[in-house]
């Protein structure tokens, strides 16, 4: 039973355009959400996070949107660059629970074409 779902295994976008990666969750106890980026042969790298008390968090080219009623979040990358090509993982946690206990989705492989 997957609590965090990334239904698109892959996404291909043209350089300069917007990339939108989606994530759904089922556990209403989750109150903190994170996005990680992973290159081959490297560990996941933290990208951006959002608390459940917010609906948007922006950091440079990266913006995460949270829709609590729909249990849905998305990561927007604008403009997309070839260096953004990687696997993106959505993760969720219950802040009041065991910190570091992240529940991950299966990931979406983003390819940004020049």
Partner 1 sequence: ETGVTQSPTHLIKTRGQQVTLRCSSQSGHNTVSWYQQALGQGPQFIFQYYREEENGRGNFPPRFSGLQFPNYSSELNVNALELDDSALYLCASSLVGHQNTEAFFGQGTRLTVV
Cβ-based neighbours of 41, under 8 Å, separated by 6 or more: none
Q: Is 36 in the site for partner 1 (CB under 8 A)?
A: yes
Cβ proximity to partner 1, 20 vs 48, nearer residue: 48
Which position has the token pair 């997957």? 2
Q: Is 11 in the site for partner 1 (CB under 8 A)?
A: no
Number of other residues whose CB lies within 10 A of the CB of residue 39: 12
Q: Binding partner 1 by CB under 8 A: which of 19, 24, 44, 63?
A: 44
Cβ proximity to partner 1, 76 vs 109, nearer residue: 109
Count of positions (residues) in the chain: 114
Number of other residues whose CB lies within 10 A of the CB of residue 93: 21
What residues line the site for partner 1 (CB under 8 A)? Answer: 4, 6, 32, 34, 36, 41-46, 49, 89, 91, 93, 95, 97-107
């Amino acid at each position: 039973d997957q609590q965090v779902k990334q239904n698109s295994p892959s996404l291909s976008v043209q350089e300069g355009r917007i990339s939108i990666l989606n994530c759904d969750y089922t556990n209403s106890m989750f109150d903190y959400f994170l996005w990680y980026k992973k290159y081959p042969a490297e560990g996941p790298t933290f990208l951006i996070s959002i608390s459940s008390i917010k609906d948007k968090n922006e950091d440079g080219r990266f913006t995460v949107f949270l829709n609590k009623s729909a249990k849905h979040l998305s990561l927007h990358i604008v403009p997309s660059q070839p260096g953004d090509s990687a696997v993106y993982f959505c993760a969720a946690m219950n802040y009041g629970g065991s910190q570091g206990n992240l529940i991950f989705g299966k990931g979406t492989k983003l390819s940004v074409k020049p």
